[in-house]
């Protein structure tokens, strides 16, 4: 009867491969989180720019396009503040 050397059969992958996969998974997760944060930041900036553009329209135009009364009031308030600041600047010249 011939005997053969028994060798253990590897059941799992090598430790360095598992560690490498863990590092790559962590990096991928961090990159995904950064992409989400960047996307949210861009959406917030876009929303702020749209609101700023609306606010700079005259209240009459806002009424014509059917904007909410709160938006019309904010536009009126911004326009008045802008006029006061411009007048103060011109008086200072």
Taking only the tens place, the pLDDT of each residue in 59-77 is 899 999 998 999 899 889 9
Place of tokens 């009126």: 76
- Residue at token pair 């949210």: 40
Residues 19 and 41 in one domain: yes
What pLDDT is stored for residue 5 in this prediction?
72
Instruction: Return the biggest CA–CA distance within the chain.
Output: 112
70 and 40 within one domain:
no
Q: Please tell me the total count of domains within the chain.
A: 2
Q: What domain range includes position 92? A: 56-93
Q: pLDDT tier at 4 (50, 70, 90 boundaries)?
A: low
Higher pLDDT, 51 or 30: 30
pLDDT at 41: 97
- Checking if the pLDDT of 1 tops 80, the result is no
Q: What is the mean pLDDT of residues 74-93?
A: 90
Same domain (yes/no): 39, 68? no
Task: Please indicate, yes or no, if residue 66 is contained in any of the structural domains.
Answer: yes
């Amino acid at each position: 009867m011939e005997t053969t050397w028994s060798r253990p059969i590897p059941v799992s992958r090598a430790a360095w491969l598992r560690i490498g996969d863990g590092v790559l998974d962590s990096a991928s997760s961090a990159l995904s989180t950064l992409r989400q944060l960047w996307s949210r930041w861009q959406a917030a900036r876009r929303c702020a720019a749209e609101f700023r553009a609306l606010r700079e329209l005259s209240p009459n135009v806002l009424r014509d396009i059917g904007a909410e009364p709160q938006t019309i009031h904010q536009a009126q308030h911004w326009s008045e503040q802008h006029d006061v600041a411009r007048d103060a600047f011109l008086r200072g010249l």
